[in-house]
């Protein structure tokens, strides 16, 4: 359990560093996407699906996996 919490924390720090420095994320459900830099931000996928989207600085959720 401790390893899972540490892994999630490291993931959050790494992905926040890739994004807009906003540590707030929202579950968006499974969305088809390929990992990598997109117009709508960096996509980190599991099985070619993205499940969480980093919130914009104004608190909104932008488009998911837009090229």
Would you list the DSSP string of 6-50? Answer: HHHHHHHHHHHHHTTS---EEEEEEEE--SEEETTEEE--SSSEE
Domain ranges of the chain: 2-54
pLDDT of residue 35: 86
Summarize pLDDT for 11-24 with one digit per residue, the tens. Answer: 665 555 667 777 88
**5 φ/ψ sector (left φ>0, alpha ψ -120 to 50, else beta):** alpha
Q: What is the pLDDT of residues 44-60, one digit of tens each?
A: 888 999 888 888 888 88
């Amino acid at each position: 359990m401790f390893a899972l919490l540490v892994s999630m924390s490291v993931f959050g720090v790494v992905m926040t560093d890739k994004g807009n420095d906003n540590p707030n994320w929202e579950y968006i459900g499974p969305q088809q996407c390929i990992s990598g830099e997109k117009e709508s931000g960096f996509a980190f996928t599991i099985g070619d699906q993205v499940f969480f989207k980093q919130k914009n600085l104004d608190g909104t959720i932008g488009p998911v996996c837009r090229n």
